[in-house]
Chains A and B, each alone.
Chain A
Amino acid sequence: QVLPSSCPRQVRSYYVDWRMLRDVKRRKMAYEYADERLRINAIRKNSILPKELQEVADKEIAALPRDSCPVRIRNRCVLTSRPRGVKRRWRLSRIVFRHFADHAQMSGVQRAMW
């Protein structure tokens, strides 16, 4: 990658680890199949339509690829791929968050004192 000399940021061309990559794949699949899943679920979670139709819908949704369900997505830390201790607002694990906050690189974040 040819970068202009003005760009001082760190450029990562790889995902941190394979688990992060798999999570990325799952997110993409979930995005693709989101509409279909929504519609089939609308047929399933219904008291108006006949039950046979709902059973068929059940089978259909089970037949979709496994990675397309949003339940399998794990909100990992963006920088370290840590699966636990991740704050949703910053998408960072607690350790990374602390590191940046102490170096005053998090805007609006201050050490609590009261």
Chain B
Amino acid sequence: KDKDKSAPSKDSTPEGAAERQADGAETPKQQLLDIIGNMKVEVSYRKKLQQLKASENKKQAVNKLEAPPDSEGSVPQGITEDTQRGKPLNPELVKAASAVASSFPRDKKQTESELLAQLRRHEKTTDKQKKGGTINIRNVISEMTVKRQSPEQWGARISGRISLQLGEDGQRIRPSAQSVDSRRSLKVGKRLNIFTKASTEPEHALKTASSPTIWDLEFAKEVAAVTAQPPRNGFEEMIQWTKEGILWEFPIDNEVGMEDDAEFHEHIFLEKHLEGFPKEGPIRHFMELVICGLSKNPYLSVKQKVEHIEWFQKYFEEKKELLQEI
């Protein structure tokens, strides 16, 4: 039933769009609204909303509204979410809302009022978002007053801040707000131009000019040997062993050092590497056996297998004259 109803209504909307383009007047909209109004109750709410959105999308395209595209994620939120964005409540929206409300089985006036209220709330939030959220925070902070504290209280506050990080949610808002305040005071204000920006280019040039000499390497080794203190406990000893490679890293990774990024099909289907060989004859037979053996070999990497085959290719090319004598 739903599908049948949606199909004719969708057929009507392209026709309606064509008519709109031809007429350019409000009458097709009226027709649409009438259609919406006439739609029966048996159609599910969600389908109806989708049809409504489709029709209103087309309206938007035709009328070239400024509004940004709809967000489809809001559909499942509930009955009352009509997601069109305009500045003041569009009369079209109002009409659409009334049409939808009229088609609902419940209290028409109540649903209409609810829809309109939702629309208003929605536009409020979208306007706020358009202006930008950071300004709101700044307003909030500027409203907060800065308290004068004695140094003893500072110490208490700092310790309190450190201890409060673990704890309760109610008290956490205050220290974070104060830290935001201090952050703001650091960045705000004129530049004093006391410190000149140190240029980093000559340092780079120096480093690239001379590669580390033997003396530098020896010095580095000596420094490392002197600074390497003997391990204070068993844990440090184990850390040292792990760094040296004596102790493995746990949980043991069986594939340490073996980084084979190739898929299994690259290991098994090696016939494409056999293109340099003649298609018939004992050599081909021999190479097919080689490939069969390689495909079963789990210990070689793909590169090694390819090298293997290439070696044979080179070898047979060198012996070509000999082979042709035979």
Contact = CB atoms under 8 A, between A and B. Distances in A.
B282 A50 contact: yes
A46 B316 CA distance: 15
Contacts of B311: 35-36, 39
A2 to B, nearest CB: 5
Interface string A88-99: 000000000000
Contact of B230 (A6, A39, A42, A50): A6
B231 interface: yes
Contacts of B282: 48-50
Contacts of B290: 42
B322 to A, nearest CB: 7
B195 interface: no
Contacts of B222: 2
B7 interface: no
B322 A4 contact: no
Contacts of B308: 35, 39
Contacts of A56: 319, 322
Contact of B283 (A35, A39, A49): A49
A3 B224 CA distance: 10
B228 A6 contact: yes
A2 B221 contact: yes
A52 B319 CA distance: 11
A32 to B, nearest CB: 14
Contacts of B283: 49
Contacts of A112: none
B326 A50 contact: yes
B192 interface: no
Nearest to B286: A48
A10 interface: no
Q: Please classify the interface of chain B as helix (H, G, I), strand (E, B), loop, or mixed, using the class held by over half of its residues.
A: helix
A26 to B, nearest CB: 23
B285 A48 contact: yes
B225 A39 contact: no
B248 interface: no
Contacts of A50: 282, 323, 326
Given A2-B222, A3-B225, A6-B231, A49 B312 contact: no
Given A48-B282, A50-B326, A2 B225 contact: yes
Interface in A33-59: 35-36, 39, 42-43, 46, 48-50, 52-53, 56
B46 to A, nearest CB: 68
Contacts of A49: 282-283, 286
A5 interface: yes
B149 to A, nearest CB: 51
B228 to A, nearest CB: 5
Interface string A1-40: 0111110000000000000000000000000000110010
B264 interface: no
A98 B74 CA distance: 80
Interface string B142-176: 00000000000000000000000000000000000
Interface in A85-111: none
Q: Which 4 A-B pairs have the closest CB atoms?
A: A6-B230, A4-B228, A2-B225, A48-B282
9 contacts: A6-B229, A6-B231, A35-B311, A36-B311, A43-B286, A48-B289, A50-B323, A53-B319, A56-B319
Interface of B: 221-222, 225, 228-231, 240, 282-283, 285-286, 289-290, 308, 311-312, 315, 319, 322-323, 325-326
Interface of A: 2-6, 35-36, 39, 42-43, 46, 48-50, 52-53, 56
Given A2-B222, A48-B289, 9 more contacts: A6-B240, A35-B311, A36-B311, A43-B286, A48-B282, A48-B286, A49-B282, A49-B286, A53-B322
